[in-house]
Structure 1
Amino acid sequence: MPYVKRDADGSIDGLLEQLQEGYAEEFLPDDNSEVIEFSEKAKAALAANPTIERIARAWDMTPEQVVERIDKDGFKIDAGSKALN
């Protein structure tokens, strides 16, 4: 992982585990600086989301810990998803 989806400006707009022809065809390693930057921003956005904050309170964790747990356990969340905003 990951294959990257880029926006019109060429910035990473999404990370996917599998090639998506016509959508996300460029592969970058996990340690690529652009991938790391996008991942950190996505995790920060998720941690600030009210849904994640409610889960954090229920699980007695910080929002950042919830995001790490979700990411570690293989759940994938789109930080830009309208459902999270």
Structure 2
Amino acid sequence: MRLMPVVLALGVSLGFAAPASAAYVDIETVRAMAFDRGIVKLDEIELKRRKGIWEVEGEDAYGEEIEMEIDARTGRIIKMKRD
């Protein structure tokens, strides 16, 4: 039993046990990115954990729909589509 905490401590220090969700970009950052890209009305922001992306839907100042996909770990915009 005494070796178990030591092994876990080594795993954490080497980066093996770090949870992936801790590295996600937060929702406030995603909102700010959407507003910076011309969205003035947000309809939906959803984190798709399995895909590792944020999906954003909203409208610009002219009422045109904008959809965005943002990498949840890096914050990089993967896709942006205006309709």
Q: What range is the shorter-chain TM-score in?
A: under 0.3
Q: What's the TM-score, normalizing by structure 1?
A: 0.27
Q: What's the TM-score, normalizing by structure 2?
A: 0.27
Higher helix content, 1 or 2: 1
Higher strand content, 1 or 2: 2
